[in-house]
């Protein structure tokens, strides 16, 4: 164990910077639905029927196909049915400030942007220091998720991403938090707990919906057991689509959240 740790520290150099270059090029990651051609009328009907979360829908006004990225769970059924029209890209959809922005009528705007993870992290660090003169504290709230998003959030603290070097850390109590990072569709059993957590968080505070379930209910939908998204319970400032969203996208969402705090003068 000691030899392995020493090799990781001394022999391999800085893992955080060295390994990030290839992370977003993973061919197996499902990040966004891309239309390669406009679906026909028959294809649109097939896509609407096969999509388990009803993320794909027909737009009657312009006879086109719409996509709600906040509902899409990247199951890939659509690309299997009409492979000549739809493909699954490994580039994730970017976070947005308003829910209406995650609904696309053509192709979504995808990550990465022109900035690398390292650049986004350093920009975020500068803004955190300017606004808070201290670290940014995050309280993660599981409002009924499958824990897929939690795995990606946990990765933010590993040696590859190491989010604490940007002045960001997770706290155990909402009373110490600046940001609530919420996952899950907000099940009925978690509705009251989520609301009380929000109320216990001191201002200024910001809420980030992480993943398709938090954005719209995801695969759980809007049923007797769920609320259909956390914005049905508490106000949301930033939406991060994905099932689950990658750590690179999570830190971009945090940057968007801090920008919003600065813009709103919170």
Helices 247-264 and 117-132, interaxial angle, to 10°? 30
Q: What's the token pair of residue 196?
A: 């009380």
Coil, strand or helix at 226: strand
pLDDT tens-digit readout, 37-55:
888 888 888 999 999 999 9
Give the pLDDT of residue 149: 95
What does the angle CA 137 – CA 29 – CA 67 come to, to the nearest 5 degrees? Answer: 85
**Residues whose CB is less than 8 angstroms from the CB of residue 4 and which lie 6 or more positions away in sequence, other chains included:** none
CA nearest to 206, candidates 166, 184, 244, 239: 239
Report DSSP state, residue 121.
H
What is the CATH code of the structural domain delimited by 117-264?
3.40.50.12280
DSSP state of 8: I
pLDDT averaged over every residue in the chain: 86
List, in sequence order, every residue forming a beta bridge with 109; answer none if it has no partner.
Answer: none
Task: Tell me the residue length of the chain.
Answer: 266
In order along its 266 residues, the chain shows pLDDT tens digits of 566 555 555 555 555 555 454 455 577 888 889 888 888 888 888 999 999 999 998 887 777 888 999 999 999 999 999 988 999 988 888 899 988 888 876 566 665 556 778 888 899 999 998 888 889 999 999 999 999 999 999 999 998 899 999 999 999 999 999 999 999 999 999 999 999 999 999 988 999 999 999 999 999 988 899 999 999 999 999 999 999 999 999 999 999 999 887 776 55
Annotate 137-192 with DSSP letters as a single string: EEEEEESS--SHHHHHHHHTTSTTT-GGGGTEEE-S-GGG-SEEEEES--BHHHHH
pTM for the model? 0.87
Contacts of 15 (CB under 8 A, 6+ apart): 8, 159, 160
Cα–Cα distances (Å) from 107 to 62, 148, 241, in that order, read 15, 25, 14
Phi and psi at residue 209, in whole multiples of 5°? -85, 120
């Amino acid at each position: 164990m000691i030899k392995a740790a020493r090799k990781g520290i001394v022999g391999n150099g800085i893992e955080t910077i060295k390994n990030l270059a290839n992370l977003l090029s993973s061919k197996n990651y499902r990040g966004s639905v891309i239309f390669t051609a406009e679906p026909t009328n028959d294809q649109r009907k097939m896509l609407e029927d096969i999509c388990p979360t009803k993320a794909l829908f027909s737009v009657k006004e312009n006879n086109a196909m719409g996509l709600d990225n906040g509902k899409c769970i990247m199951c890939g059924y659509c690309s299997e049915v009409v492979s000549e029209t739809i493909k699954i890209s490994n580039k994730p959809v970017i976070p947005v400030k308003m829910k209406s922005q995650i609904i696309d009528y053509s192709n979504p705007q995808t990550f990465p942007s022109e900035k690398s993870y390292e650049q986004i992290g350093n920009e975020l660090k500068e803004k955190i220091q300017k606004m808070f003169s201290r670290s940014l504290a995050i309280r993660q709230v599981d409002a009924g998720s499958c824990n897929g998003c939690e795995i990606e959030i946990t990765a933010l603290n590993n040696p590859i991403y190491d989010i604490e070097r940007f002045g960001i850390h997770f706290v155990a109590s909402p009373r110490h938090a600046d940001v609530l990072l919420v996952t899950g569709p907000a099940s009925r059993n978690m509705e009251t707990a989520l609301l009380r957590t929000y109320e216990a968080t001191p201002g200024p505070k910001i809420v980030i919906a992480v993943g398709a379930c938090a954005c719209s209910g995801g695969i759980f939908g809007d049923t007797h057991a769920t609320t259909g998204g956390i914005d049905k319970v508490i106000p949301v400032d930033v939406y991060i689509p994905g099932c689950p969203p990658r750590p690179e996208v999570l830190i971009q969402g945090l940057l968007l959240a801090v920008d919003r705090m600065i813009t709103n003068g919170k």
